[in-house]
Every structure is written in structure tokens, then in C-alpha cells.
Amino acid sequence: MPAGFYDLLFVRGSAGAGSGFSLTPLAMFLFVLVMGGVIVDRYVRNVAELRRMNQTLDARVRARERALEESHAQLRAQQAAQAAAGERQRIMRDLHDGVGAQLVGLQSLLRREGVPSELLRAGVDAALDEMRLAVDSMQITDGDLTTALATLRYRVRPRLEAAGLALHWQVEEIAAVEGLSPHTVMQVQRILLEALTNVLKHARASAVWVRCEWSQQARCLRLEVADDGVGFDAAQARVAGQGLRSMQARATSIGAELEWRAREGGGSRVVLGWRR
């Protein structure tokens, strides 16, 4: 601005009679240099501020990530603890409902006089089977029904053969089924064991068939136990048979359906249907 006034007064105005050196171009050049320096200075300071902000933001992000990782670790630990507690509860319940019930029944028999040794032996065998099932269930993974049924087959086959029963095992290879929890697998095992025990005790059969298949399209599991024995009255058995009531209660607890039918050619069939 002083250079402009100078030029107006002394270079172009009457005071200088149109002579003299103009300072405006020089002032403009210096102004451009100053403004360039100001812009560069502000740019450098803004870049430095952005770097500091990025460093602060990175530090906050890392701190938040560490906090989230710690929260996730705590959550995983809580979930693992809850899963372990649930598994302990399940094992305790299975032991109480299975081994405990068999031992209570066996204790009741021992208090009586003149109880046949065969009945006591059957009670001991049932308690052992329940204990073995409870132990086996600890090794069953989610949905692994094939291994569970194969384990049960290994457990009961000696008893069936000793009673002169031919076991026809028709269980297809079943892939892991989503939603088929260890508890559900355990209940299916117990229902199958109870059905085979009923054949041993009451059917007077010479052969028993076990069939199990999984329909991927219908998302349905079908388990069938059939024998060639004397058969039974299903309506009367539901009223009088503790074993059948127990099987029905187990099926209901997992959302399955249990049916008793007569077998063509004689004998009986027990059919369990479970839908995913």
C-alpha cells in the first residue's frame, strides 16, 4: 500500500511530474513471496498437525483394540466357564437320572427277601450300562450320532449274544447334524438302550433289528428297534411299563416322537422320530 501511494503521488501524480522509479512491481513481487512463505508455513504446520492427529488416533485405535481384545478374552473365558458348568450339570443330571435311579432300584430289591439272583444281576447290568453311557457321553462331540450309537452297540452286544439274541445292525453313516447336541444324542442312546433292554426282558425274541437313518431333505432322524418276539399291547404297556414311560419322557424332552407298533410277522417295533 505505501508503494502504491508513492507511485500515485510521485511517479504518476503532479508531485513527481511523471518521473521516478515505480515501486509497485517490486512491492507485488515481495507480496507474492511473503504470501508464498505464509502458505508454505501454514501447509507445513497443517501437515505436522495432521501427523500428530494421526499418531494420536493410532494410539487411541490401538488402545481400543487392546480393550476389545481383553473384553473378547473375558467373554470367551465366561463362555467357556458357562459351557463347563453346563456340562457338569448335564453329567450330574445324567448320573442322577441314570446310575442313581438304577442304584436306588437295586437297593430296593436288596431290601426284599427271596429276590431272584437273575433280577439282581439285571439291575447291576443296567446300572453298569448307565454308568458307561454317562462316561461315553463325555467324549461325544456335537452331532456325532454315528459314534454314539456304535459305542452303545459295543456295550450291549455281549448281553444280547449271551441271551441268544441275534443283533442286526442297520445304521447308516450319518454326518454331523447341526442342532443335535450331546444331550440329545445321550437321550437317543438311552431310548435305544431301554428298547433293547425291553426286548431282553420281555420279548422272548431270537433276533432284534436296529435301523437308523437321517433324511437330509426332510431334516428328520428315524430310529427303529424291531424284534421277532411275542409282541405286546402298546396301550397296556404305556400304563404299566416304567421303561416305556421313561422312554416317552426322554423323547418328549428332546422334542421327538416315540411310537410303539406291531411288527409284521410277529414281534414289536419302537420308532423314534426327531426333526431338526
pLDDT digits (tens, 9 = 90+) for 249-267: 889 988 999 998 888 888 8
The pLDDT, as a whole number, for residue 160 is 86
Centre a 10 Å sphere on the Cβ of residue 141 and count the other Cβ atoms it contains. 10
pLDDT > 90 in the chain, percent: 24
Lowest mean pLDDT among 15-19, 70-74, 100-104, 115-119: 15-19
Amino acid at 69: E
Q: 195, 270 in Cβ contact below 8 A?
A: yes
Give the predicted TM-score (pTM) of the model. 0.57
Q: Is 55 helix (H, G, I), strand (E, B) or coil?
A: helix
User: How many residues comprise the chain?
Assistant: 276
Q: Which of 66-70, 201-205, 218-222 has the highest mean pLDDT?
A: 66-70
| Average of per-residue pLDDT values in the chain | 81
Residue 39's Cβ-count burial label (10 Å; 0-12, 13-18, 19+) is: exposed
**What does DSSP say about strands 220-227 and 207-215: parallel, antiparallel, or unpaired?**
antiparallel
20 φ/ψ angles, rounded to the nearest 5 degrees: 115, 175
- What is the grid cell recorded at 61? 485405535
* Residue 240: pLDDT band with limits 50, 70, 90: very low
With vertex at residue 62, the alpha carbon angle to CA 59 and CA 68, rounded to the nearest 5 degrees, is: 140
**195: alpha, beta or left, given left = phi > 0 and alpha = psi -120 to 50?**
alpha
pLDDT at 120 over 60: yes
